[in-house]
C-alpha cells in the first residue's frame, strides 16, 4: 500500500537557453536589489560581465569562492557584503560558489540568487556547509535554498567535457541513491528516475560534441532534477563514503562521486534488488552497477580511487571515518566488507556481489 510523506522546498526556478539575460527583470519582479556577485577566481571575468549587466542592481563582486566554503572565505565575503551594504547575492558558478551564497544566506540573512554552471545541484538542496580547518560541518536549513535559481544551459558550454563528465556523475549519484534506496518515496523516486534517464542520455552526447546545446540543456535539466531528489530525499552509504574521502584526503568532489557510485550501488544491490533494478531500467542496462560503470567509462570519468589521488594506505582511515557514526543504509556495513569494497574501488575492479559485471576497466594508475 502507498504510504509516504513528502516535504518540498521553496524552489523558484527559471530554466532555459538565454534565461540569464532575464536576470535583471527577474530580480526586479522579486524586489531583489544591491547584489553582491559571487564567483570563484576562475570565473571572475564572467562575474565582472554579470555585474555590468546588473548595472545599478549590483554593488560589488567577490571572486574568491573556493570549494567547501572555508570559514575565512565566508568571513571575507561577509565583510565585503557589509562594506557595500549588499542585500542579496548572485552566485555564478558551481557548487563552491552556490555554497558561499547559501552560507551567507543562513548566517547573514542575505537573499541568494544562484546561476549554476556545473551539474553539482547544490542550488536545489537545503544543505549548506562551512569548513573550519579540515572540519567541514554540513547542516540542513531551508533558509539556504536560493531565493531564485536561473538555469541557462549556454553557461555550461564552457564546462570542459572532462569536468562535465565527473560533475554529471555527481548529479547521477544524487538520483541513483534516491531510487536504489531502502527508504523509497514515490515523488522523490519519480524525479530521480527521470534524472537518471536524462543524464544517461545526454552526458555521452556532450562528450561527443561539447557544443551540443540540446545535450547540455538535457544534462542541466537532469542535474536539477537529481538535486531536487537529493534535496527532498535521502542519502546513505555512497554519500557517507564521498564525505569521508573529501574530508580526510581532499579528493575532488565530483570525481569522488564518479568513482565510488558503481561500488556503493553494487554493495547494496542484494538488499534492495527491486529498487536497484529500477536504476538499471532507467539506465537501459541489465545491471545498475554495471550500467553506471559503463556510463562512467563512456564519458571518460575516473574509474578508480588511485586515479584521484587516494593511496592504498588511506583506505583504513576512510573505513574508520565512514563508520564512525551510525549509518542508515539498505544493509549493515561491516569494516571488513567496506575495506574490501574500497580496495576494489582503489583498483578500479567492479566485481561485487550485486553485479555479475567486471567491465573492461581502463588500466588504473599506481597511487
User: Helices 315-322 and 335-347, interaxial angle, to 10°?
Assistant: 130
Beta carbon nearer to ligand NAD, 73 or 268 = 73
Q: Segment near ligand NAD (CB under 6 A), from 78-86, 87-95, 189-197, 313-321?
A: 87-95
Beta carbon nearer to ligand NAD, 99 or 352 = 99
All three cell numbers of 104, joined, read 551567507
- Tell me the residue nearest to ligand NAD as measured from the CB: 95
All three cell numbers of 339, joined, read 575495506
How many alpha carbons lie under 13 Å from residue 312 in its C-beta half-sphere? 9
Q: Is 189 in the site for ligand NAD (CB under 6 A)?
A: no
- CB of 238 vs ligand NAD, minimal distance in Å: 13
Beta carbon nearer to ligand NAD, 99 or 302 = 99
- In the block, cell 556503493 appears at 264
Beta carbon nearer to ligand NAD, 216 or 344 = 216
Q: Is 364 in the site for ligand NAD (CB under 6 A)?
A: no
Residues 71-89: b if buried by 16+ CB within 10 A, e if exposed? eebbeebbebbeebebbbb
Judged by DSSP in three states, 90 sits in: strand
DSSP letter, residue 34? S
Strand partners, 91: 38, 114
Q: Which of 29, 158, 209, 365 binds ligand NAD (CB under 6 A)?
A: 158
Q: Is 178 in the site for ligand NAD (CB under 6 A)?
A: no
Judged by DSSP in three states, 203 sits in: helix
Beta carbon nearer to ligand NAD, 120 or 310 = 120
Backbone dihedral angles phi then psi of residue 252, each to the nearest 5 degrees: -65, 135
Nearest by Cα to 349 from 290, 270, 275, 301: 290
Q: Which of 77, 159, 279, 301 binds ligand NAD (CB under 6 A)?
A: 159
Q: Is 43 in the site for ligand NAD (CB under 6 A)?
A: yes
Beta carbon nearer to ligand NAD, 76 or 361 = 76
Beta carbon nearer to ligand NAD, 261 or 350 = 261
- CB of 224 vs ligand NAD, minimal distance in Å: 12
Q: Is 47 in the site for ligand NAD (CB under 6 A)?
A: no
Q: Which of 51, 239, 253, 278 binds ligand NAD (CB under 6 A)?
A: 253
Query: What does each C-alpha distance from 282 to 59, 197, 232 come to in angstroms?
Result: 45, 5, 20
User: How many amino acids of this chain bind ligand NAD (CB under 6 A)?
Assistant: 25
Nearest by Cα to 14 from 5, 6, 25, 1: 25
- CB of 288 vs ligand NAD, minimal distance in Å: 21
Beta carbon nearer to ligand NAD, 253 or 344 = 253
Q: Is 251 in the site for ligand NAD (CB under 6 A)?
A: no
DSSP letter, residue 177? T
Rg for the chain, CA atoms, rounded: 20
Q: Is 293 in the site for ligand NAD (CB under 6 A)?
A: no
Q: Is 71 in the site for ligand NAD (CB under 6 A)?
A: no
Q: Which residues in the 97-156 window bind ligand NAD by CB under 6 A?
A: 97, 99, 117-118, 120-122, 125, 127, 155-156
Q: Is 257 in the site for ligand NAD (CB under 6 A)?
A: no
Alpha helical stretches, state H, the chain: 23-29, 44-54, 71-83, 95-108, 161-176, 186-208, 213-232, 237-249, 253-268, 273-283, 288-299, 315-322, 335-347
Q: Is 239 in the site for ligand NAD (CB under 6 A)?
A: no
Residues comprising the chain, all counted: 367
All three cell numbers of 314, joined, read 588511506
- CB of 31 vs ligand NAD, minimal distance in Å: 26
Q: Which of 57, 68, 293, 344 binds ligand NAD (CB under 6 A)?
A: 68
Give contact residues for ligand NAD (rule: CB under 6 A): 40, 42-43, 67-68, 93-97, 99, 117-118, 120-122, 125, 127, 155-156, 158-159, 167, 253-254
Amino acid at each position: 500500500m502507498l504510504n509516504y510523506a513528502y516535504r518540498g522546498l521553496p524552489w523558484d526556478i527559471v530554466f532555459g537557453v538565454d534565461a540569464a539575460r532575464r536576470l535583471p527583470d527577474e530580480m526586479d519582479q522579486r524586489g531583489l536589489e544591491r547584489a553582491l556577485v559571487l564567483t570563484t577566481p576562475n570565473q571572475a571575468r564572467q562575474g565582472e560581465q554579470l555585474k555590468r549587466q546588473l548595472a545599478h542592481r549590483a554593488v560589488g563582486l567577490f571572486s574568491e569562492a573556493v570549494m567547501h566554503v572555508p570559514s575565512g572565505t565566508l568571513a571575507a565575503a561577509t565583510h565585503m557584503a557589509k562594506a557595500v551594504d549588499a542585500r542579496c547575492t548572485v552566485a555564478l558558478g558551481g557548487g563552491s560558489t552556490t555554497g558561499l551564497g547559501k552560507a551567507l544566506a543562513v548566517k547573514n540573512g542575505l537573499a541568494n540568487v544562484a546561476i549554476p554552471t556545473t551539474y553539482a545541484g547544490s542550488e536545489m538542496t537545503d544543505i549548506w556547509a562551512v569548513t573550519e580547518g579540515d572540519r567541514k560541518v554540513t547542516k540542513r536549513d531551508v533558509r539556504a535554498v536560493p531565493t531564485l535559481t536561473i538555469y541557462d544551459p549556454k553557461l555550461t558550454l564552457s564546462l570542459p567535457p572532462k569536468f562535465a563528465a565527473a560533475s554529471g556523475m555527481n548529479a547521477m549519484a544524487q538520483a541513483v541513491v534516491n531510487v536504489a534506496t531502502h527508504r523509497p518515496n514515490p515523488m522523490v523516486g519519480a524525479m530521480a528516475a527521470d534524472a537518471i534517464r536524462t543524464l544517461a542520455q545526454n552526458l555521452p552526447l556532450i562528450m561527443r560534441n561539447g557544443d551540443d546545446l540540446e545535450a547540455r540543456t538535457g544534462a542541466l535539466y537532469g542535474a536539477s532534477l537529481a538535486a531536487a531528489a537529493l534535496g527532498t530525499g535521502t542519502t546513505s552509504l555512497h554519500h557517507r563514503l564521498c564525505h569521508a574521502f573529501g574530508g580526510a584526503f581532499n579528493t575532488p568532489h565530483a570525481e569522488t562521486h564518479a568513482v565510488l557510485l558503481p561500488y556503493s550501488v553494487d554493495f547494496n544491490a542484494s538488499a534492495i534488488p527491486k529498487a536497484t533494478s529500477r536504476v538499471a531500467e532507467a539506465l537501459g542496462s541489465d545491471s545498475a552497477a554495471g550500467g553506471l560503470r559503463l556510463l562512467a567509462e563512456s564519458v571518460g570519468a575516473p574509474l578508480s580511487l588511485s586515479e584521484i589521488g587516494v593511496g592504498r594506505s588511506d583506505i583504513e582511515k576512510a573505513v574508520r571515518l565512514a563508520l564512525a557514526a551510525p549509518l542508515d543504509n539498505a544493509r549493515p556495513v561491516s569494516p571488513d566488507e567496506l575495506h574490501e569494497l574500497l580496495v576494489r574501488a582503489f583498483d578500479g575492479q567492479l566485481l561485487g556481489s550485486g553485479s555479475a559485471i567486471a567491465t573492461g576497466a581502463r588500466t588504473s594508475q599506481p597511487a
